Structure 1
Amino acid sequence: MNKDRGTIKWTSLMLPEHIQRLRAWENKLHHMPPKEKADWELEELHKTIQQAYQLKMPITFTLYKQDTWQTITGIITAIDLNKQHLLLETDTIVKAISFTAIQAAECDD
């Protein structure tokens, strides 16, 4: 006798249409474009980046690039205002990140 303690196997009860809609909804959430930032949000982002750069602290960026969201952590090695990007050194590579791709930044203490 199968003892599953009365739990119902929900996947067997879902219709293919439900699964299809759930997957579409999840994809839509992951591909939502970012909202426009207010001036105070841009100022906070700038302060966080400057603090991490000056103190050589690890920082985690949330990036929106090519309709996808990405999170990357590293140490800022250089900021180039002319080219509008910064260099982030991760564990494996040094990556150039455009200012326009940055949506959020958080210092890791």
Structure 2
Amino acid sequence: MSKDRGTIKWASLMLPEHVKLLQDMWRDDYRMSRPVLDSQETEMLNAQILEAFEYKSAISVSIYSDGTVINRLGIITKLDSQTNNVILQLTDSTQITIAFDDILSITIR
């Protein structure tokens, strides 16, 4: 039985706008809604963040971003309580800012 490519085989006969719409549709199929954490999970995350910051421990953090979950490895260098952000220094020495609401889970290594 031959392997069918579905709508991909017709892409050369389609207008670029139609191809873009199909790509957006396929990307939307894999999006997920933002998980809602209860107060107990939020408190546990807060405690893990404070512990990792205090001991400068390496962490693995799962972040919700635009319908997907991204995993990052690094060390927390700063906690900004005014904006509820966490500054994470990645293993390649770049720093990223993560909103506390976007953090789904933390594993201290």
Q: Does 1:28 align with 2:29?
A: yes
Aligned to 1:105, the other structure's residue is in SS state strand
What residue ranges of structure 2 are gaps of 5+ in the alignment? 7-25
Residue pair 1:78, 1:88 contacting (<8 A) in 2 also: yes
Between structure 1 and structure 2, the one with the greater Rg is 1
Q: Does 1:45 align with 2:45?
A: yes
Give the corresponding residue for 2:99.
Answer: 98
The amino acid of 1:51's aligned partner reads E
Q: In 2, Cα distance between the equivalents of 1:72 and 1:88?
A: 9
Give, in angstroms, the shift of residue 13 of structure 1: 5.7
Give the corresponding residue for 1:70.
Answer: 70
Deviations 1:29-52 (A, max 9, x none): 4x1113211111111111111111
Give the corresponding residue for 1:4.
Answer: none
Residue pair 1:34, 1:103 contacting (<8 A) in 2 also: no
Residue identity (%): 21
The number of equivalent residue pairs is 91
RMSD of aligned residue pairs (Cα, Å): 2.3
What residue ranges of structure 1 are gaps of 5+ in the alignment? 1-11, 18-23
Q: Runs (4+) of structure 1 moved beyond 6 Å?
A: none
Q: In 1, Cα distance between the equivalents of 2:29 and 2:61?
A: 22
**TM-score of the pair, normalised by structure 1:** 0.71
Matches within 5 A, 1:6-25: 12=1, 15-16=4-5
**TM-score of the pair, normalised by structure 2:** 0.71
